[in-house]
Structure 1
Amino acid sequence: MSLGETVISRFPEPIRSIALKHRELVKFALVGGTCFIIDTAVFIGLKTTVLVEKPVTAKIIATLIATIVSYVLNREWSFRTRGGRERHHEAALFFLVNGIGIVLNSLPLWVSRYVFDLEEPFVTRAVQEIADFASAQIIGTLVAMAFRWYGYKKWVFPEENARGKGRPLEEEEQLGHS
């Protein structure tokens, strides 16, 4: 029994059934949460030190680092049974989808800073920081996450059970009732 299955088996029944039914989405969300923490830490670290004057560049670098971690975790855990493509083709599509995701993730920050002028000296430092966080880390992340979920299932990992790893759905559902 994997760690994820052990955790899910401890959930109360209504949640356990939902988690098993939507296990890919749950795993995708957990990987996303992990990458969100990485992205946020790198973004804030860069934005407050070496890239003070270039917040969009800081965001792009942070998202690139989180994307590399995301590829490994999504391929080997979230979508471990999916595939259907040669690894190099899969990786190219993953990074293409994530390249679009980086644009979608960074666009709200760019709009906030350079269209709405939510930066010093036009607004206070506190307003600038709140606007940066809300636009880059909340709005941008949600838009990019929705696109990535669709893109991974549609183009990157299109075929279910293509790699043959993992349990059939019936076996996992039985696990939830034990």
Structure 2
Amino acid sequence: MKIPARLRRLAGVGSRFLIVGAISTVIEIAAFNLFVFVFDWDPVVSKIAASLVALVNAYIGNREWAFRHRDRRGRVSELALFLATNGICTLLGAGLVWLGVEALEAIVGHATGAFALNVVNLISIVIVVLFRFVLYHKVVFRTSGSSTSEPPAA
């Protein structure tokens, strides 16, 4: 069975996006745990701060590797779209962490422990990653209307 070229390109971009995302996720989880359990910050504030720390890696990795073959319409415009997209995604992630913490506390009747808090955080990351890929692919690192946006041959 022959896989269409467009699907192969999407799989390649998606794979690179997931690798960059995995590295960013490790950074975000480490920062989140540092902020919550070392600095004793609120989980929602920690989620926002950790997302911002991981954002630097995400931009560089996605711009220079995952979506390198896409149009370069100008760094300022692209960076503004990237920051807006990640602002939305950070708020979505923080909202999901808040909702998860509130739900768990309502169910168990007391504050969540480290394991439960990290499970909530990971679930929020999975949901946000799917949303983020669509936005990066369709809005931030989009192609021009032509079909000349194929990645260069390796």
**Structure 1 length-normalised TM:** 0.72
Partner of 1:77: 65
| Counterpart-to-counterpart distance in 2, 1:162 and 1:98 | 27
Post-superposition Cα deviations, 1:12-32, rounded to whole Å, max 9, x if no partner, equal: xxxxxx977611011000000
What is the 5 A alignment of 1:1-178?
22-50=11-39, 52-113=40-101, 115-116=102-103, 118=105, 122-123=109-110, 127-136=112-121, 138-159=122-143, 166-167=151-152, 171-172=153-154
Q: Please tell me whether the aligned partners of residues 35 and 41 of structure 2 are also in contact (alpha carbons under 8 angstroms).
A: no
| Counterpart-to-counterpart distance in 2, 1:53 and 1:62 | 11
Gap change, CA 1:21 and 1:164, over 3 Å in 2 = closer
The alpha carbon displacement at 1:128 in A equals 2.5
Structure 1: which 5+ residue stretches go unaligned? Answer: 1-17, 173-178
| Counterpart-to-counterpart distance in 1, 2:148 and 2:80 | 18
The alpha carbon displacement at 1:123 in A equals 2.9
Letter in 2 for 1:130: F
Moved more, 94-103 or 154-163: 154-163
Letter in 2 for 1:118: E
The alpha carbon displacement at 1:166 in A equals 4.8
| Counterpart-to-counterpart distance in 1, 2:140 and 2:10 | 21
The alpha carbon displacement at 1:112 in A equals 2.4
Identity %: 27
Q: Please tell me whether the aligned partners of residues 35 and 67 of structure 1 are also in contact (alpha carbons under 8 angstroms).
A: yes
Higher radius of gyration, 1 or 2:
1
Structure 2: which 5+ residue stretches go unaligned? Answer: 1-6
Letter in 2 for 1:88: V
Post-superposition Cα deviations, 1:71-96, rounded to whole Å, max 9, x if no partner, equal: 01100000001125221010000111
Q: Please tell me whether the aligned partners of residues 85 and 157 of structure 1 are also in contact (alpha carbons under 8 angstroms).
A: no
